[in-house]
Amino acid sequence: MSRLPTPITRPAPRTPARPARRRGRREAATAWAFVLPSVLVILGLSVIPVLWSLLLSFQYSDLLTPSVWVGWDNYRQLADDPQFAQAVRNTLEYTALYVPLSIGLGLVLALVLNRRIRFAGLYRTLLFVPFVVSAAAQGVLFSFILDPEFGAANSLLHRLGVSPQGFLSDPGQALLVLVGISLWSGTGFCVVIYLAALQDVPRELIEAATLDGAERRHVLRHVTLPTIAPVSVFLLLWQTISALQVFDLVYVTTKGGPLGSTTVIVYFVWEQAFRNFTAGYGAAAAYVLGVALLVAAAALRLVRRRGDRRIEGATS
């Protein structure tokens, strides 16, 4: 990314100056023809909507009749909206549980699978496969398994002598169950990323440390973990961003219920814009989330840069 394309060496032009410039211009025209479709689609469907969304957030809009400028009203109303407060709480709770659990479990499993162990490939495949299953399919499948009356989960608990659970229909459990389903589908991703990172840990470093008498946990603490730290930061960022944006699974399983216990921010935005037809209000909520995501990403970038410097210092 940091390197500009260097000019291609071409044979000396037979007649200098003008044809060369014409060729340069033709080259630029060709280049523009190559990138134009991508530019139109990508920038047209991101820059325009981002600005439009900002405008919308200062308007009263039902998506049908002309909208009315209301200034900061939407934001002020959001600050007092108990439903939005609950959506924020639910989103933060979900993120605070899902992110460390998926990364921690992913790291442990990757460390184990990275040893010379039989069936490592099979284990990796089994752990990763749920990642390719769509949230819609996951939702339908787990609604079936966790059905309080007919589901396989309760019948299993029944056989173990545990009283039947409400799962997704219990306001006290629903969010935790959603975290569990997300762990089922998202942990394999962390495992795969960590496994790739572990390939890059220099063997000489581990061997040298071992010869120097370091125990295995010391090698882990002082060699392996610092080397893969940038990947941990990447996963932290990636998993946090996807957790803050969770929607599909909630829509398919609980639709925000019971009693709002699983209403997350994106679900709130969608409900406001496309169910209650208060699009301006929804846009304002989306902007609150967008700014939060940006701050989170910026903060993590900062930490990551400092971390990178520390690792360079440690290994060089």
Considering only residues 116 to 175 of the shown chain, the ones binding other proteins according to CB under 8 A are 116-119, 122-123, 125-130, 132-137, 139-145, 149-152, 155, 158-159
Structure tokens given for 13? 């032009």
Among candidate residues 234, 109, 284, the one with its CA nearest the CA of residue 183: 109
Per CB under 8 A, the segment of 46-54, 73-81, 86-94, 165-173 that binds other proteins is 46-54
268 φ, ψ (degrees, to nearest 5): -60, -45
* Site for other proteins contains 60 (CB under 8 A): no
Per CB under 8 A, the segment of 2-10, 13-21, 76-84, 92-100 that binds other proteins is 2-10
Site for other proteins in 225-244 (CB under 8 A): 230-231, 234, 238, 241
Q: Extract long-range pairs of 127-136: CB within 8 Å, 24+ residues apart.
A: 127/187, 127/188, 127/191, 128/188, 128/189, 128/191, 128/192, 129/188, 130/184, 130/185, 130/188, 131/185, 131/186, 131/188, 131/189, 133/185, 134/248, 135/185, 135/248, 135/249, 135/252, 136/248, 136/252
3-state secondary structure of 167: helix
Q: Is 7 left (phi over 0), alpha (psi -120 to 50) or beta?
A: beta
The binder of other proteins chosen from 113, 174, 178, 300 (CB under 8 A): 113
Site for other proteins in 250-269 (CB under 8 A): 251-252, 265-266, 269
Quick note: the x/- pattern for other proteins over 193-212, rule CB under 8 A, is x-xxxx--x-x--xx--xx-
Choose between 174 and 192: whose C-beta lies nearer to other proteins: 192
3-state secondary structure of 219: helix
Report the alpha-carbon distance of residue 206 to residue 212 in Å, rounded. 10
Smallest gap, in angstroms, from Cβ of residue 79 to other proteins? 19
Per CB under 8 A, the segment of 43-51, 70-78, 90-98, 169-177 that binds other proteins is 43-51
* Site for other proteins contains 68 (CB under 8 A): no
Q: How many CB atoms lie within 10 A of CB 23?
A: 12
With beta carbons less than 8 A apart as the criterion, state whether 145 and 153 touch: yes
Report the alpha-carbon distance of residue 61 to residue 282 in Å, rounded. 10
Quick note: the x/- pattern for other proteins over 73-112, rule CB under 8 A, is ------------------------------------x-xx
Site for other proteins in 271-310 (CB under 8 A): 273-274, 279, 282-283, 286-287, 289-290, 293-294, 297
Choose between 82 and 199: whose C-beta lies nearer to other proteins: 199
Structure tokens given for 123? 């284990």
Smallest gap, in angstroms, from Cβ of residue 103 to other proteins? 14
With beta carbons less than 8 A apart as the criterion, state whether 221 and 270 touch: no
What radius of gyration do the chain's Cα atoms show? Answer: 26
| 7 secondary structure, DSSP code | P
* Site for other proteins contains 314 (CB under 8 A): no
Size of the site for other proteins (CB under 8 A): 118
Smallest gap, in angstroms, from Cβ of residue 295 to other proteins? 12
The binder of other proteins chosen from 13, 19, 23, 46 (CB under 8 A): 46
Choose between 92 and 141: whose C-beta lies nearer to other proteins: 141
The binder of other proteins chosen from 88, 101, 174, 188 (CB under 8 A): 188
Residue whose structure tokens are 């993120």: 95
